[in-house]
Structure 1
Amino acid sequence: MPHRSMTFAKFIIEDQRRRGGPDAELTALLNDVQTACKLIGITVSRGPLHKHRTAPGINVHDEEQKPLDLTANEIMLDTCSWGGKVCGMASEEMAEPCTVPPPHRKGRHLLVFDPLDGSSNIDVNVTVGTIFSILRAPEGDADPTEADFLRPGTEQVAAGFALYGPTTMIVVTLGAGVHGFTLDREIGNFNLTHPDMRVPEETGEFAINMSNERYWEPPVQRYVEECIRGQTGPRGKDFNMRWIASLVAEVYRILIRGGLFMYPWDTRDASKPGRLRLLYEANPMAMILEQAGGAASTGRERILDMVPTALHQRVPLILGSKSEVERIVRYHEAHDRGEDAVFDSPLFNKRSLFRMPAGAAGGV
Structure 2
Amino acid sequence: MTRPLGITVSRHIMDSQRLHPAATGDLTGLLNELIVAAKTISAEVNMAGLADILGMSGKTNIQGEHVQKLDEFANNTIKRRMARCGYLCAMTSEEEADIIPVVEGYEGKYTLAFDPMDGSSNIDVNVSIGTIFSIHRRLSPDGGPGDESDLLQRGRRQVAAGYIIYGSSTMLVFTTGAGVQGFTLDPSVGEFFLSHPDIRIPDKSKYFSINEGNYHYWQEPVRRYLHYLKEEDKATGRPYNGRYIGSMVADFHRNLIAGGVFLYPRDSKNPTKTYGKLRLLYEAAPLAFLAEQAGGRAVTDDGREILDIEPEGLHQRVPVIVGNAHDVDIFLEFMAEKR
- TM-score band, normalised by shorter chain: over 0.9
Task: Give the letter aligned to residue 229 of structure 2.
Answer: C
Q: Is residue 329 of structure 2 the alignment partner of residue 326 of structure 1?
A: yes
Which secondary structure state, in structure 2, belongs to the residue aligned with residue 99 of structure 1? Answer: coil
Aligned residues: 332
Deviations 1:144-188 (A, max 9, x none): 222321110001000000011110110010000000001111111
Measured after TM superposition, the shift of residue 55 of structure 1 is: 2.8
Find 1:219's aligned residue among 218, 221, 232. 221
Counterpart-to-counterpart distance in 1, 2:238 and 2:304 = 28
Q: Is residue 112 of structure 2 the alignment partner of residue 111 of structure 1?
A: yes
Name the stretch that deviates more: 20-29 or 152-161.
Answer: 20-29
Name the stretch that deviates more: 261-270 or 169-178.
Answer: 261-270
What's the TM-score once normalised by structure 1's chain length? 0.87
Match of 1:316 in 2: 319
Counterpart-to-counterpart distance in 2, 1:219 and 1:196 = 34
Deviations 1:272-325 (A, max 9, x none): 311000000000000000000000000210100000001000000000000000
- 1:64-75 correspondence runs (5 A): 64-75=66-77
Measured after TM superposition, the shift of residue 227 of structure 1 is: 1.6
Measured after TM superposition, the shift of residue 4 of structure 1 is: 5.7
Query: Do the aligned residues in 1 keep the contact of 2:108 with 2:142 (CA within 8 Å)?
Result: no
- 1:274-293 correspondence runs (5 A): 274-293=276-295
Counterpart-to-counterpart distance in 2, 1:236 and 1:51 = 46
Match of 2:28 in 1: 27
Query: Do the aligned residues in 2 keep the contact of 1:113 with 1:130 (CA within 8 Å)?
Result: yes
Measured after TM superposition, the shift of residue 52 of structure 1 is: 4.7
- 1:1-364 correspondence runs (5 A): 5-52=6-53, 55-102=57-104, 104-137=105-138, 138-231=140-233, 237-272=238-273, 273-299=275-301, 300-334=303-337
Counterpart-to-counterpart distance in 2, 1:23 and 1:160 = 21
Measured after TM superposition, the shift of residue 21 of structure 1 is: 4.0
Counterpart-to-counterpart distance in 1, 2:237 and 2:246 = 28
Counterpart-to-counterpart distance in 2, 1:333 and 1:148 = 35
Gaps in structure 2 of 5+ consecutive residues: none
Counterpart-to-counterpart distance in 1, 2:233 and 2:106 = 61
Query: Cα 1:123–1:22, aligned 2, differ >3 Å: closer, same or farther?
Result: same
Counterpart-to-counterpart distance in 2, 1:257 and 1:16 = 30
Counterpart-to-counterpart distance in 2, 1:236 and 1:207 = 16
Which secondary structure state, in structure 2, belongs to the residue aligned with residue 56 of structure 1? Answer: strand
Counterpart-to-counterpart distance in 1, 2:174 and 2:186 = 17
Counterpart-to-counterpart distance in 1, 2:164 and 2:8 = 15
Query: Do the aligned residues in 2 keep the contact of 1:13 with 1:22 (CA within 8 Å)?
Result: no
Counterpart-to-counterpart distance in 1, 2:252 and 2:20 = 27
Identity across matched positions, percent:
42
Deviations 1:111-135 (A, max 9, x none): 1100000110001100001000001
Query: Do the aligned residues in 2 keep the contact of 1:4 with 1:192 (CA within 8 Å)?
Result: no
Counterpart-to-counterpart distance in 2, 1:167 and 1:4 = 18
Counterpart-to-counterpart distance in 1, 2:180 and 2:24 = 19
Name the stretch that deviates more: 296-305 or 44-53.
Answer: 44-53
Task: Give the letter aligned to residue 35 of structure 1.
Answer: V
Counterpart-to-counterpart distance in 2, 1:286 and 1:278 = 10
Counterpart-to-counterpart distance in 1, 2:39 and 2:251 = 21
Measured after TM superposition, the shift of residue 95 of structure 1 is: 0.4
Deviations 1:235-291 (A, max 9, x none): 673221000001111111111111010000111134431100000000000000000
Task: Give the letter aligned to residue 270 of structure 2.
Answer: D
Measured after TM superposition, the shift of residue 101 of structure 1 is: 1.9
Counterpart-to-counterpart distance in 1, 2:295 and 2:157 = 18
Which secondary structure state, in structure 2, belongs to the residue aligned with residue 100 of structure 1? Answer: coil
Query: Do the aligned residues in 2 keep the contact of 1:4 with 1:193 (CA within 8 Å)?
Result: no
Match of 1:361 in 2: none
Counterpart-to-counterpart distance in 2, 1:77 and 1:28 = 16
Name the stretch that deviates more: 30-39 or 246-255.
Answer: 246-255
Query: Do the aligned residues in 2 keep the contact of 1:226 with 1:235 (CA within 8 Å)?
Result: no
Counterpart-to-counterpart distance in 2, 1:132 and 1:220 = 29
Task: Give the letter aligned to residue 211 of structure 1.
Answer: G
Which secondary structure state, in structure 2, belongs to the residue aligned with residue 147 of structure 1? Answer: helix
Query: Cα 1:237–1:47, aligned 2, differ >3 Å: closer, same or farther?
Result: same
RMSD: 1.9
Which secondary structure state, in structure 2, belongs to the residue aligned with residue 312 of structure 1? Answer: coil
Measured after TM superposition, the shift of residue 42 of structure 1 is: 0.7
Task: Give the letter aligned to residue 305 of structure 1.
Answer: D
Query: Cα 1:60–1:8, aligned 2, differ >3 Å: closer, same or farther?
Result: same
Measured after TM superposition, the shift of residue 139 of structure 1 is: 1.9
Task: Give the letter aligned to residue 225 of structure 1.
Answer: H
Counterpart-to-counterpart distance in 1, 2:335 and 2:134 = 29
Structure showing greater radius of gyration is 1
